[in-house]
Amino acid sequence: MNYRHAYHAGNFADVLKHSVLFALIQALRAKDTPFALIDTHAGSGCYALDSEEAGKTGEYRDGIARLLFPDLHQADKAASSALPSLLRHWLDAILALPGNENGLKLYPGSPLQVARAMRDIDSAQLCELHPEEATHLRELFRNDHRVHVHNRDGYEALKALVPPKEKRGLVLIDPPYEAQEAEYRLIEAALKAALQRWPTGIYAIWYPIKQRSQVQPFLRGLQHGFARRVLRAELLVHPDDSPLRLNGSGMVILNAPWNFDQVLREPLQAMARLLSKERAAEWRLDWLAQDNETTATSPT
């Protein structure tokens, strides 16, 4: 377990992951009844962007900072001016974090973003295997009765945590992929077990894209026998042909809310525009499975 998210917090992959997460929480909040969030790989919850770790990689500068300060990167200022409201609200929530009053100093991880977006009636179960990260999480949420921290394997815990008593909500699966093949097998097994116990839950899985061929079998597998609706959203800042670097990332959402593709379309377009590097970033948004199967696409 060498992975530490502090080196990567706020990078272009977090921008995709956390803006999609934000949109899912907004969709869950549209109903008055409570929901549960289960984060199987929670990290430490909040990251200082002036830490030694963040400073070593500076990854947030090509991620969240590009959305917040687009004029530094865009020659065409008009193109960067209007952000879709989903992204505007997501960025506002990050800047409203205590500690960010004078600019972006802290980047909240998924647990803190969710905790700030959910209501008093909602609840969160956070799993984190690394003892130090789990200790940070406990400290962060020690006064929050809605949030429960588990220092244990997230895949194992998931079996015990579903279905939640609220009977509606979201599972976020965001592992480190230190061994890609093995991680995909773990995700598939965990999803199968969880879906059997809680077929109506929403499951959002983040995945890295280095070489397209590494992720293809997983995406193809999701087309059959997992959930009736599977939406895929991807953002690539480099071509997906090199195993040596993170070229892009994606989220697949099982049991995605109806019309969730329409919620994500404009934000993805805007993210691609703002996160482009030496070439235009690419994005994909399609249903890998859908109730009406004729409209689902085969992943390429």
* Interface positions with ligand SAM (CB under 6 A): 1, 3, 5, 17, 39, 41-43, 109-110, 127-130, 133, 153-155, 174-176
Handedness of CA 246, 9, 262, 82 (dihedral sign): negative
Sheet holding 282-289, edge to edge: 147-150, 123-127, 36-39, 169-173, 202-209, 248-254, 230-236, 282-289
Tell me the C-alpha distance between 121 and 64, whole Å.
30
> Could you give the angle at the alpha carbon of 47 between the alpha carbons of 54 and 267, nearest 5°?
90
Residue 174 annotated to the active site: yes
Residue 245: exposed, middle, or buried by beta-carbon count in 10 A (0-12, 13-18, 19+)? exposed
Q: Which is nearer to ligand SAM, 7 or 69 (CB)?
A: 7
- Joined together, the tokens standing for residue 13 give 């992959």
Closer residue to ligand SAM, CB minimum distance, 16 or 195: 16
Distance CA 162, CA 198 (A): 6
CB of 221 to ligand SAM, least distance (A): 20
Give SS3 for 139.
helix
Name the catalytic one among 92, 174, 261, 291. Answer: 174
Asked if residues 293 and 249 have their Cβ atoms less than 8 Å apart, the reply is: no
Beta-bridged to residue 37, according to DSSP, are 124, 170
Nearest residue (CB) to ligand SAM, 7 versus 290: 7
**CB contact at 8 A, 160 and 193:** no
Token digits for 265? Answer: 């379309």
Minimum CB distance to ligand SAM smaller for 70 or for 111 = 111
CB 177 within 8 A of CB 185: no
Nearer to ligand SAM, 66 or 130 (CB): 130
- Tell me how far apart the alpha carbons of residues 255 and 283 are, in angstroms, rounded to a whole number: 21
Distance CA 127, CA 166 (A): 18
Q: Residues within the annotated binding site for S-adenosyl-L-methionine?
A: 18, 41, 110, 128, 153-154, 174
Quote the tokens at residue 228.
């009736």
**CA-CA distance, 118 to 164, in Å (whole number)?**
16
Q: Which residue is nearest to ligand SAM (CB)?
A: 109
Q: What positions carry a catalytic annotation? A: 174
